[in-house]
Structure formats: structure tokens, C-alpha cells
Amino acid sequence: TSESADQLWHEQTLLPLFAWALPISRNEIMDFNTTPARLNRLCRLSNFSLGQRTLLKFCPVCAREDTFHYGVTYWHLAHQLHGVTTCHRHPVALESIHVPSSPHIRIGLMPPVSYTEQLSNEIDFDFAKFCYESLNIIRRKDITHPNYMDVLKKLNLLSLDGNLKKNVFYAHVYAKCQLFGEGSSGLIPTSLTDYHYWEPILKDKCCQHPTKHLLLCYCLLNTCWPTYAGSRTNKKKEIFKSHKKYSFHIVENNTSVSNLGKEFSRSRCYIKTLIYKKYLRAFKRNTKINIFTELLI
């Protein structure tokens, strides 16, 4: 073949997608000298398959079109994405064939043209197009693995303390996933409270299948998130800012509490109480009195 190793790697394998989803192993996955056995371990294929037999998927409409244009059918790379159940070109459900156990590669194993197409779910079709477009972008090296916490922050899904707003996030993502068809049941979370499904992805605790990352990106980009989430101010933080503001003026400007009260339109008792709660909380009042008595004596 006249194709270079780089062309084969980017255009005829899903390795660019795994390199994007597994940034820790990215350099080894992108190395052309890495052995197939090592790639299998790096991509965690045995862990992701969960004991299931390997499937080859095809679109019946694409198979007939390939026969018409090229005289033979062939396997489409985008159809082989785990969890994708619909063709990205036609709103048709993908059919599947089990890969023969031995030999691993059989001569003449091509998609058949005898299958009758079945219409797919609208959101399954939309997700398939999203995965196909994302794969093409990743192939062009125009995208890096996202920092999900930064994305959640921009979507106003983090509290002022930096924690995930679980009630808002899980409710909306689960509602979106429920729109998928039955064929995608192995990809989507099992329940509204299935926190263990998303947390490892959000916090990068362990390696997850690339399609789960694509599903999360799809939900984040195609969900109508509420604008009110997180709009409330944190009173404790506002009080803490007041402590720092008043104390800074006292120390830097050598200002009395009385003058400080006039400057900020606050009573002396209010300012003294704030400063006492913040900076003198660890000291007992009787200890302070004893210290003052010793100084006077």
C-alpha cells in the first residue's frame, strides 16, 4: 500500500480516539513501534469488553451503497465505536456480526447486503453524528482531552466552593440519557443515583472507555442547563471578605474602630463583633482579661 504509517494510524484505526481519552498513555499509543499486545493493555480493551464477544457492526444502507459504487461491501470505522448503535449517515440501526474466534481474520468476512434496515431513535442518530464529527476533529489533532471541571464551571454547574451541583447535573444528564434507545442500555447509567458512572470520568480517577467521554461531552453540549443554578451568593464568604476588609483598614491605615464604622457606615459593635469572630475566636475572654491585667500591673 502507498499509505504511510501515520495515515493508517489516523484514518484506519480508533487509536487516535483512545489516545485522546487516555492522556496518560497517549505517547505510547501514538508510538508506531508499540506492539499490538502492549496497545491492547494500554487501551484496556480487555477491561472495557467485560467478557463480551467482539462485534463487527455495519449499516445495511451503507452496505448496498458500497456494492453499487465499489462492487463490494466493507467495514466502516465509525460504525465500530462501542456504544454507537446507529449509522452516522443514515438514521438506521446498525446490524452486527460476531467476530469468528478462530481464525481471527476470515477471508471474505464482509458485511452482507441481505439485511433489511430498521429506523433508529432520533437521539441515537444525533449521538452517532456527534461521535463521527468528534472522531474527525481528534484525527486532525485539533482537540485535546477536556478538563471537565472547567467546563462545568463555565456551565454554572459548580458551587462557589468548587463542588459539583449533583442534583442539577445528575438529573439533567440522566433525563438526556433516557432518550436513547434500548440498544444503548449498556452505555448509559442505570439510574438517577448512579453516581459511580460519572464521577470517575469527571475526576479522572481511572481509565474510562472513550465512548463514555464522548457521551459526557454530548450531554454537556446538548443539554439545556438552568441559568439559576448557583446564582445565590455565599453569605459566609461575604462575611469573610468583610473581616479582611475591616482588618486591613485597621492595620494598614492605623484607623480606629470608630472611624472605620463611619467609613463603612457600620456600627462599632458590628465591626468589633466581626473581627472578634474571625481573629479572636480561639482565645477565651477571661484569658484576655488576665493578659490585660498583667500589663496594667
**Mind listing the pLDDT tens digit for each residue in 97-114?**
888 766 556 677 889 998
**Strand pairing class (55-58; 95-98):** antiparallel
> Residues 42, 25: contact at Cβ < 8 Å?
yes
93: three-class secondary structure by DSSP: strand
219 dihedral zone (left: phi>0; alpha: psi -120 to 50; beta):
alpha
Give the mean model confidence (pLDDT) for residues 274-291: 49
| pLDDT reported for residue 285 | 45
Report residue 87 CA to chain centroid gap: 24
- pLDDT band at 257; cut points 50, 70, 90: low
Residue 198's Cβ-count burial label (10 Å; 0-12, 13-18, 19+) is buried
**pTM for the full predicted model:** 0.73
Q: 83: pLDDT confidence band, cut at 50, 70 and 90?
A: confident
Whether 69 has a pLDDT exceeding 90, the answer reads yes
Per-residue pLDDT at 51 exceeds 80: no
Q: What's the confidence (pLDDT) of residue 4? A: 86
Higher pLDDT, 271 or 145: 145
Domain definitions of the chain by residue range: 5-121, 148-221, 235-296
Closest residue by Cα to residue 151 from 76, 204, 197, 74: 204
pLDDT tens column, 190-226: 888 888 888 888 877 677 889 999 999 999 998 888 7
Question: What cell numbers appear for 279 in the block?
Answer: 481573629
Going from the C-alpha of 117 to that of each of 80, 90, 208, the distances in angstroms are 17, 10, 32
Of 61-65, 125-129, 194-198, the least confident? 194-198
In which region does residue 29 sit, left (phi positive, over 0), alpha (psi from -120 to 50) or beta (all else)? alpha
How many C-beta neighbours within 10 Å does residue 229 have? Answer: 17
pLDDT at 283: 43
C-alpha cell at 37: 499486545
Can you give the pLDDT at residue 241? 46
How crowded is the C-beta side of 64, counted as CA atoms within 13 Å?
7
Q: Report whether 124 contacts 133 (CB < 8 A).
A: no
Average pLDDT over the chain reads: 78
Q: In the prediction, which pLDDT does 37 show?
A: 87
Nearest alpha carbon to residue 148 among 80, 203, 227: 203
Report the distance separating Cα 99 and Cα 156, nearest Å. 45
Residue 117 has pLDDT above 70, yes or no: yes
pLDDT exceeds cutoff 70 at 12:
yes
Q: CB-based contacts of 225: which residues, under 8 Å, 6+ apart?
A: 155, 156, 157, 168, 172
Average pLDDT over every residue of 101-130:
85
Neighbour count for residue 181 (Cβ, 10 Å): 16
The residue whose grid cell reads 465500530 is 80
Q: What is the pLDDT of residue 86?
A: 95
Which contiguous run of DSSP H or E holds residue 56?
strand 55-58
Predicted confidence band at 23 (pLDDT cuts at 50, 70, 90)? confident
Per-residue pLDDT tens digits for 144-195: 788 898 999 888 898 888 888 988 999 999 999 999 988 777 788 888 888 8
Residue bearing the bigger pLDDT, 254 or 188:
188
